[in-house]
């Protein structure tokens, strides 16, 4: 397995109970999380998010499929070996189980006992983590003297103080106000950047989606979508610059972005030939292409297109073969959409379809 893959799930199934009361709650889940990624998992209540998280965390034994965490296959591990995996992780779960008789800083220090720190260093690190979470004034308070949100933040400090390579968080901001939620997610994001920590976080909090590298959506025990947020945002930026797409609403643009994939073409490569069957729509992210009508000696360049321009729509709109060839002038990056998705996108918005046809018409009459 590639070192940079921190979590790899393959065909993971899980059921609670046996015989008559057996109830399968996870179905055929596949997931890859790379080092340094912050992945947000969303989905309706009861869809299986917590169950998947507890499997990844080695808190339950796996039943079917393969689950590799920090390079270790969890399937078939003894309970003892699972405990060893758990020690390398940071858990932020809702039942935070602080020790009532210990102060905030003592609770945080408890989780450091199994790790090789000097005592003075331990106190310093525990204090620093509590300060980052806005609890600098409360380090000597016991849980009963703290609010629910403050207790939650102590539990978060405890999970993070050992700088675990993988952090699993189940609705970590549910009990927090807006400011504390922001502090917590900013801290998590900083850990991914500064320590290369990897984070899988379940949340319904739409205010914090912006920190995600990817959003995974779980529905009925199955990962229904897995979207690279930054890539989608880049595509949306590009769509907004493009004459035909700039009319899309943010939701329509996101739907569109989710259907596009990235493709590269070196300079001088023929992207497609006149007479080919049309299978894809292309939007240029980088580089430039020549549109050539005719072949060989008779071929002539009728247009040159660049970043923000699109091509390949004509054959998809008319059902005829490609009416020109496309040659990459330079190294190019395209975002492409399959014929089916392109037609669905057009059909989904009447204003978009009109706008699209207008731009295409203007372009054809100009050329
Ligand atoms: N310990 C358990 N025993 C039996 N069923 C459970 C148990 N924990 C969760 N479930 C069931 O598994 C399904 C998924 O639950 P869960 O993973 O907690 O979903 P989510 O975190 O997405 O709300 C639900 O139908 C829930 O009732
Ligand atoms: Mg849950």
Q: Could you say which ligand is closest to the alpha carbon of residue 47? A: 1
User: Is the predicted pLDDT of residue 53 greater than 80, yes or no?
Assistant: yes
Residue 308 has pLDDT above 90, yes or no: no
CA of 14 to the centre of ligand 2 (A): 15
Which ranges in the chain are annotated with CATH 2.60.120.10?
Answer: 259-366
Q: Is the CB of 361 under 6 A from ligand 1?
A: no
Question: In the prediction, which pLDDT does 351 show?
Answer: 73
Ligand 1 pocket test target in 21, 23, 40, 61 with most atoms within 8 Å of CB: 23
- Alpha-carbon distance of 246 to 108, in angstroms, equals 50
d(CA 156, CA 199): 13
In this structure, the number of other CB atoms found within 10 A of the CB of residue 301 comes to 12
Pocket of ligand 1 contains residue 223 by CB under 6 Å: no
CATH class of 5-230: alpha beta
pLDDT for residue 366: 60
- Does the pLDDT value for residue 91 go beyond 60? yes
Q: What is the pLDDT of residues 30-41, one digit of tens each?
A: 999 999 999 999
**48 alpha carbon to ligand 2 midpoint, in Å?**
7
Neighbours of ion ligand 2 (CB under 5 A): 50
pLDDT given for residue 323 in this prediction:
94
Cβ of 219 less than 6 Å from ligand 1:
no
The pTM (predicted TM-score) of the whole model is 0.72
Ligand 1 atom 14 nearest Cα:
48
The β-bridge partners of 328 are 289
Least confidently predicted of 46-50, 155-159, 296-300: 296-300
51 touches ligand 1 (CB under 6 Å): yes
Q: Which one of the ligands is nearest to 44 CA?
A: 1
Q: List where CATH 3.40.50.300 sits in the chain.
A: 5-230
User: What is the predicted pLDDT for the residue at 364?
Assistant: 64
The lowest-confidence range among 51-65, 79-93, 110-124, 162-176 is: 110-124
Q: Does domain 259-366 have CATH number 3.90.1150.10?
A: no
* Percent of residues, the chain, with pLDDT higher than 90: 62
* Phi-psi domain of 262 (left: phi exceeds 0; alpha: psi -120 through 50; beta: other): beta
Reported confidence tier of residue 20, pLDDT bands at 50, 70, 90? very high
Kindly report, residue by residue over 254-302, the tens digit of the pLDDT: 778 878 888 999 999 999 999 999 999 999 999 999 999 998 888 999 9
Rounded Cα distance, 233 and 325, in Å: 30
**Residue-averaged pLDDT of the chain:** 90
**Which of residues 1 and 226 earns the better pLDDT score?**
226
């Amino acid at each position: 397995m590639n070192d940079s893959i921190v979590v790899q799930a393959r065909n993971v199934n899980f059921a609670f109970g046996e015989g008559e009361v057996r109830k399968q709650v996870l179905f055929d889940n596949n997931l890859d999380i790379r080092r340094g990624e912050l992945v947000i998992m969303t989905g309706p209540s009861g869809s299986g998010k917590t169950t998947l998280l507890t499997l990844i965390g080695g808190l339950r034994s796996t039943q079917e499929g393969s689950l590799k965490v920090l390079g270790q296959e969890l399937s078939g591990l003894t309970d003892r070996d699972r405990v060893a995996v758990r020690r390398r992780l940071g858990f932020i779960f809702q039942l935070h189980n602080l020790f009532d008789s210990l102060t905030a800083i003592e609770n945080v220090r408890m989780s450091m006992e199994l790790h090789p720190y000097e005592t003075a260093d331990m106190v310093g690190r525990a204090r620093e983590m509590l300060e980052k979470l806005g609890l600098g004034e409360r380090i000597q308070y016991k849980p009963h003297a703290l609010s629910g949100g403050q207790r939650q933040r102590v539990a978060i400090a405890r999970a993070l103080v050992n700088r675990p390579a993988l952090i699993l968080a189940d609705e970590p901001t549910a009990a927090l106000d807006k400011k504390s939620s922001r502090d917590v997610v900013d801290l998590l994001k900083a850990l991914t950047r500064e320590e290369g920590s990897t984070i899988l976080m379940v949340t319904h909090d739409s205010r914090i989606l912006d920190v995600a590298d990817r959003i995974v959506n779980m529905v009925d025990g199955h990962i229904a979508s897995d979207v690279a947020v930054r890539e989608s945002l880049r595509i949306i930026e590009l769509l907004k610059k493009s004459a035909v797409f700039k009319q899309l609403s943010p939701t329509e643009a996101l739907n569109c972005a989710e259907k596009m994939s990235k493709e590269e073409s070196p300079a001088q490569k023929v992207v497609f030939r006149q007479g080919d069957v049309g299978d894809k729509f292309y939007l240029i992210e980088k580089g430039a292409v020549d549109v050539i009508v005719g072949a060989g000696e008779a071929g002539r360049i009728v247009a040159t297109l660049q970043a923000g321009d699109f091509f390949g729509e004509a054959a998809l709109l008319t059902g005829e073969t490609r009416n020109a060839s496309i040659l990459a002038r330079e190294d190019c990056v395209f975002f492409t959409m399959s014929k089916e998705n392109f037609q669905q996108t057009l059909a989904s918005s009447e204003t978009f379809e009109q706008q699209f046809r207008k731009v295409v018409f203007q372009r054809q009459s100009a050329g």
